[in-house]
Amino acid sequence: MDADGASARALARSPAGAFRHGVVQSLPFLVVILPFATLFGVVATEAGLDIAQVLGFSVLVLAGASQFTAVQLLSDHAPTIIVILSALAVNLRMAMYSASLLPWLRDASAPQKAWVAYALIDQSYALSIQHYERHQALSVPQRLAYFAGTATVLCLPWIVFTWVGATVGQAIPEEIALDFAMPITFLAMIAPMLRTPAHLAACFVAIVAALAFAGLPSGLGLLIAAPLGMATGAVVEARAEGRGA
């Protein structure tokens, strides 16, 4: 495929065409999002949340990893403030997404930016930033329409399938070992993130510290272990860059 041809096509699209393009390019991600959303519904229901609460998470928070984090800590009887801080920490990376989209969407209106912020999840960000960087001459309406296409395909099914999972969860018998669904889900999310020595080091220190501080009141060990891991990752990355320079 020649890049210039693809670029010419992208630049010639009407906003509606750009929207459809975003829709089509997001579809493969549903393979992950649909089961993941269903799993959240099931696990949250097993943890004792009612359907309104499960949907409340997916509509108001709309961030998978932090939703799982909050439900896990709630079922550990962690204090409210620790639940909130831990789940927010999982979402801090989105500040980076917000900063990196700004140059491309600077001329969008305030309400448009507010909507983009609501639907800014890992996948809508990753698709959009790639699209913007590849086709730099896109107009702001084309960029917004593409983002809206990705957001529609990625965010609405998240909410709908959370509801499906919550409904299914109520029908699953107690004997099935669903206690471990959450740890397995977290591990599966972590493993692909271990791309560099810095990520590995951050992960390793966080684990050791979390086990060492496991005796502290619930959730507190996490609030100590996570910053230690983050600092480790940052230090290892800085050292690697120092050597490279």
Contact between 129 and another protein by CB under 8 A: the answer reads no
The secondary structure of 143-165 as a DSSP string is HHHHHHHHHHHHHHHHHHHHHHH
8 A C-beta contact, residue 203 and residue 194? yes
- The binder of another protein chosen from 38, 66, 142, 150 (CB under 8 A): 66
- We find the least distance from the C-beta atom of residue 5 to another protein, in angstroms, to be 30
* Whole-number Å distance between alpha carbons of 37 and 198: 30
Contact between 96 and another protein by CB under 8 A: the answer reads yes
Give the residue with the Cβ less far from another protein, 8 or 81.
Answer: 81
The secondary structure of 19-60 as a DSSP string is HHHHHHHHGGGHHHHHHHHHHHHHHHHHTT--HHHHHHIIII
- The binder of another protein chosen from 69, 128, 142, 162 (CB under 8 A): 69
Interface stretch with another protein, choices 16-24, 129-137, 159-167, 181-189 (CB under 8 A)? 181-189
Contact between 26 and another protein by CB under 8 A: the answer reads no
Q: Which amino acid is at 173?
A: P
- The binder of another protein chosen from 19, 40, 97, 132 (CB under 8 A): 97
Three-state DSSP state, 135: coil
Contact between 177 and another protein by CB under 8 A: the answer reads yes
- The binder of another protein chosen from 65, 129, 140, 220 (CB under 8 A): 65
